[in-house]
């Protein structure tokens, strides 16, 4: 990927460190059991997951967000019903199974609770008639689902442009711009990525958080993974949990290359700050958090571009870890402070750092195992213009010094 840097400045780690710490493991062929994933989740976010009214968080979506009874249809202004009309002919392999079992397999975009309710109320017919869920089916029998999903959600679709960098029938990857909150919360009921998704992909209405698998800060740019069906969303969340999803970020930090290379693996638990509740901090009682510095590229004697890999997904993890080792991100007002300004800066460089309006952090690579095909998928997106300009200013003239 081109980042418009001075030549010959990349300081790679050794070959073993270059290997991704989060390998793509092939998914097994078993369908995920939604309730088991919820029950077994030991890595849940706490309830007040939005730390600031105008900020989103960099973290995994909590499995407990997946509600078996979720049939919400967010529509702006009025309750516009969504009609579902689907037919399935029972196969030989399904012969002998209960109606509710087959229906849950076939109409997998919906929860088992929904399907069982539709069998009971007659929305899901067996050979044209209402039957009890435990009735056994035969090959060539017909299941027909006809229902209308009712609106209950406050999340409303909005005509907001989104940058789609990968899409198929099961998965969507979005390049989120700086300034966009990922999902509605306190102080951010509109203008979020979820609002945009519900407009451009109205079929996402029945998925928790419109199919989001993880999230990033409002002021972090880059790639977000979204499931387009409930099985895909659940499978991708499980991959995130077992670390077969890998996420690489690029960031500009205040620190020299030699010092940063001594911290290629940062293993420090993170928890909510005891007194400043809008901040996270490294603490003994925190949750496991591991960050890998995969590549260090000096921009000048005291600033570097880092390629960072996440092994875990804690709130503000990269920002907290780099601040903890005293090399904060440029532009990070929460965790950086005055330590962002190092010696030897020109006036133009000092101004560029002082005026940079957000943390210089971009999620540029996302890798996962496709939930349907089992193939490895990797998506990348270039650095945004503001970070490219910052890099250009900080590296101005350094290529000449570096080559001496």
Measured in degrees and rounded to the nearest 5, phi and psi for residue 113 equal -60, -45
Q: Identify the DSSP state of 33.
A: -
Query: Is the predicted pLDDT of residue 376 greater than 70, yes or no?
Result: yes
Query: What confidence score (pLDDT) does residue 67 get?
Result: 33
Asked whether the predicted pLDDT for residue 48 surpasses 80, the reply is: no
> Which residues are part of the catalytic machinery?
217
pLDDT band at 114 (very low <50, low <70, confident <90, very high): confident
In terms of average pLDDT, the best of 2-16, 38-52, 377-391 is 377-391
DSSP string, 270-331: EEE-SS-TT-EEE-TTSB--EEEEEEEEEEETTEEEEEEEESS--TTHHHHHHHHTT-PBTT
Confidence label for 270 from pLDDT (cuts 50, 70 and 90): very high
User: 389 is written with which tokens?
Assistant: 């300009």
Whether 191 has a pLDDT exceeding 70, the answer reads yes
Token pair belonging to 47: 């309830």
């Amino acid at each position: 990927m081109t980042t418009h840097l001075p030549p010959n400045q990349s300081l790679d780690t050794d070959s073993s460190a270059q290997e991704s710490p989060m390998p793509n493991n092939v998914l097994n062929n078993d369908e995920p059991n939604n309730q088991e994933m919820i029950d077994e989740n030991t890595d849940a976010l706490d309830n007040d997951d939005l730390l600031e009214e105008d900020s989103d968080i960099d973290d995994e979506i909590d499995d407990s967000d997946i509600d078996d009874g979720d049939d919400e249809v967010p529509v702006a202004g009025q309750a516009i019903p969504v009609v579902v009309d689907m037919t399935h002919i029972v196969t030989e392999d399904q012969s002998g199974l209960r109606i509710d079992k087959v229906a849950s397999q076939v109409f997998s975009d919906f929860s088992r609770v929904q399907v069982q309710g539709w069998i009971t109320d007659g929305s899901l017919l067996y050979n044209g008639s209402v039957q009890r869920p435990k009735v056994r089916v035969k090959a060539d029998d017909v299941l027909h689902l006809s229902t209308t999903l009712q609106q209950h959600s406050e999340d409303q679709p909005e005509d907001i442009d989104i940058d789609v960098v990968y899409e198929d029938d099961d998965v969507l990857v979005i390049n989120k711009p700086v300034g966009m909150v990922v999902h509605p919360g306190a102080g951010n009921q509109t203008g979020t990525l979820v609002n945009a998704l519900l407009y451009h992909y109205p079929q996402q209405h029945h998925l928790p958080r419109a199919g989001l698998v993880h999230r990033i800060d409002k002021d972090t740019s880059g790639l977000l993974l979204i499931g387009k069906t409930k099985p895909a969303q659940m499978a991708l969340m499980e991959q995130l949990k077992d670390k077969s999803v890998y996420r690489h970020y690029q960031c500009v930090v205040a620190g020299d290359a030699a010092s940063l290379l001594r911290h290629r693996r940062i293993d420090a638990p993170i928890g909510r700050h005891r007194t400043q509740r809008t901040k996270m901090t490294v603490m003994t009682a925190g949750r496991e958090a591991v960050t890998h510095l995969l590549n260090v590229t000096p921009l000048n004697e005291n600033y570097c571009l880092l390629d960072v890999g996440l092994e875990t997904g804690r709130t503000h993890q990269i920002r907290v870890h780099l601040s903890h080792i005293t090399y904060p991100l440029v532009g990070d007002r929460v965790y950086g402070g005055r330590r962002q300004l190092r010696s030897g800066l020109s006036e133009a460089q000092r101004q560029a750092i002082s005026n940079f309006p957000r943390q210089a952090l971009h999620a540029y690579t996302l890798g996962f195992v496709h939930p349907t095909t089992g193939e490895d998928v990797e998506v990348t997106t270039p650095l945004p213009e503001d970070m490219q300009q910052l890099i250009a200013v900080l590296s101005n003239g350094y290529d000449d010094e570096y080559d001496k």
